[in-house]
Amino acid sequence: MSIRLVPLSGLSALLVSACAATSPSATDNRSAAQIHGSAYYVERIALPPDIALDVQLVNTRLADTPLAVVARQRYEHPQGPPYKFTLDYDPAKLQPNMSYALFATLTDADGHVWFVTDTSVPVTPGSKDTVELRMVRTTPPPR
């Protein structure tokens, strides 16, 4: 019987340590940073109710690589426009001498992009400024 208890106690210790490793600590929460802003478009158009806003913080020097996206936040059924957002990011993922920008898209449940930022919106991570992202209309979805 003691042979079975040894593996179970080892498994229990492993599970407890795994849970502890994945739980965010108070220190982790204090190291997180945020970018506040709003995304908007000027067209007078009603969007479908299943619209979602995606906001990304991107390292522009690593564009078109998997490492380019530093942070991403998705808002299902946002109220707006303007669509207010708060993007959490990890300052440890930022690299010195790199440039960062925000991008936003409004996408429906079928994956069609209705609006997108068409220009890079530079940001200075750590700045308390509120960022405004102007989006432009893409090709209308097929009917």
Give the global pTM. 0.72
Of residues 82 and 143, more confidently modeled: 82
134 or 65, which is more confident: 134
Pull the structure tokens for residue 131.
């960022």
50-80 residue pLDDT tens: 999 999 999 988 877 777 898 999 999 998 8
For residue 35, count other CB atoms closer than 10 A to its CB.
24
Asked if pLDDT for residue 103 goes beyond 50, the answer is: yes
Distance CA 77, CA 53 (A): 8
- Distance set, CA 81 to CA 38, 72, 130 (Å): 9, 20, 16
